[in-house]
Amino acid sequence: MPHDASLPAPPDLEGAGWALFLDIDGTLLEHAAHPDAVVVGEELKTLLSRLERDLDGALAFVTGRSISAVDRLFAPLRLRAAGLYGLEHRLDPGGPVEAADEPADIAALAEAVQAEFAGKEVHIERKGPILAIHTRAAPHLLARAIGLVEEALSRLPPGYRVLPGNAGVELMPLEAAKGAAIQRFMDMPAFCGRRAAFLGDDTSDENGFTAINAEGGLSIRIKPSGPTAAGYAIADVAGALEWLERQVRSRA
């Protein structure tokens, strides 16, 4: 994978026939110590609404958040979305959510991890079959968190993986993959036949970049800090929003 220093800025989405996939945290919104501490401004909601209109509906969130959490953040806006890295889907803006439940073994592990970090500035997020440990407010505990879930992996049934991130670690089923979520949307009428662009910022987005590259799309990593499969880079969240705003202006 190329290093971030070699990556050019992404081109504009010229002409018709584009689909757009967006990660949320670290891409559209700055990270916070707690996932619930982020706030979505009206300007961003308006921007996303205009992009969806300009793309004839071919826009979707692809995020590690649950779709219910996404809806709370962006209310009253409701977009197509893949939540929990593709374990949840809302294939139409007004349609139902295909949800994922929390298995008993993951529930037991979550309770053990919560006891381990009790009283510390570590946020344990239980997202159905995904367990996330956020250490942004306590970076010195990241290695301990990774060790805990890697140790637990050997005691769980087959089919799980550990995904370390920039400020935390997640345990998730193998089928939780952003690339597969993107492909599911691309097979739908609103997206089929279009060229896709995907914006993401973390290791969990690399699978999505690989899928986009295989289809000849634009893979764009926000604030890259090492090797990445993305073909393009944007320095920060502000730059990502500026790029998206430019896409709206160019179609006005």
Unique residue bearing structure tokens 């986009």: 212
Residue 3's pLDDT is: 43
For the record, the structure tokens of 191 come out as 């997206």
Say whether pLDDT at 34 is over 90. Answer: no
Task: Please give the single-letter amino acid code of residue 251.
Answer: R
Q: CB within 8 A of 64, min separation 6: which ones?
A: 25, 83, 84, 85, 127, 130, 132, 170, 204
Q: What is the pTM of this model?
A: 0.85
In this predicted model, what pLDDT tens digit does every residue of 146-180 receive, in sequence order?
999 999 998 998 999 999 988 899 999 998 999 99
| Residue 193 to residue 190: CA distance in whole angstroms | 9
- Annotated catalytic residue, options 4, 12, 23, 36: 23
Q: Are residues 151 and 242 part of one domain?
A: no
> pLDDT tens-digit profile of 127-149?
999 999 999 899 999 999 999 99
The verdict on 186 and 81 lying in the same domain is: yes
Contact (CB, 8 A) for 125 and 101: no
Check whether residue 168 and residue 180 sit in a common domain. Answer: no
186 vs 193: CA distance, rounded Å: 8
- DSSP label at residue 25: B
From 121, 156, 173, give the residue that closes a domain.
Answer: 173
pLDDT of the residue at 5:
52
Reduce the DSSP state of residue 29 to 3 states and report it: strand
- Strand ranges inside 63-167, DSSP E: 80-83, 88-90, 123-127, 130-134, 160-164
Residue type, 101: D
- Total domain count, the chain: 2
Answer for the pair 32, 72: CB distance below 8 angstroms, yes or no: no
Model confidence band, residue 37 (pLDDT cutoffs 50, 70, 90): confident
pLDDT number for residue 252: 67
* pLDDT range class, residue 70, cuts 50, 70, 90: very high
25 part of the active site: no
Range of the domain at 11: 4-99+176-251
d(Cα 208, Cα 250) in Å, to the nearest integer?
Answer: 26
CATH number at residue 55: 3.40.50.1000
DSSP tag of 40: -
Task: Classify each residue of 128-151 as buried b or exposed e, where b means 16 or more C-beta atoms within 10 Å of its C-beta.
Answer: bbbbbbbbbebeebbebbbebbee
- Position 2 confidence tier, pLDDT thresholds 50, 70, 90: very low
Q: Tell which of 120, 147, 173 closes a domain.
A: 173
The tokens describing 167, both together, are: 């400020």
CA distance 212 to 121: 36
